[in-house]
Amino acid sequence: MGMISEFKAFALKGNVVDLAIGVIIGAAFGKIVSSFIEDVITPLLLKPALEAASLEKIEDLTIFGSVKYGMFLSSVINFIIVAFVLFLVIKGINAARKKEVAQPAAPPAPSNEEKLLMEIRDALKSRP
């Protein structure tokens, strides 16, 4: 198998495609979280503090003129929100899996070997 065909087989595997879709959705979700922080959290919770410092966004907070701790705070808030949402998603998935596991599975049918052994047993029992 040539390198091109190996790469094609790798790139078109379901796992790689699923990973690519996850990365794209994650990037879009990151934009939503950033907008949520900048447009909802910051105005509601930090507006008085930002107005007192004559700033518009949390990212503009600095110390000693060049240390942008506001960017760090924004990243921490983003991380906490993303981690919480992922926690909720995984918790929901685990709850759904528990419901699936709770249903008892039907016992497996006996294999051909087991059937043959049962026939031999029954034949031996019926012997005088």
pLDDT the model gives residue 103: 67
CATH topology (fold) of 3-126: 1.10.1200
pLDDT the model gives residue 23: 86
Q: pLDDT of 60-90, one tens digit each?
A: 778 887 888 888 888 888 888 888 888 888 8
Q: 7-26 burial string, b = 16+ CB within 10 Å, else e? A: eeeeeeeeeeeeeeeeeeee
Question: What's the pTM value of the predicted model, to 2 decimals?
Answer: 0.52
| Residue 27 one-letter amino acid | A
Domain boundaries, the chain: 3-126
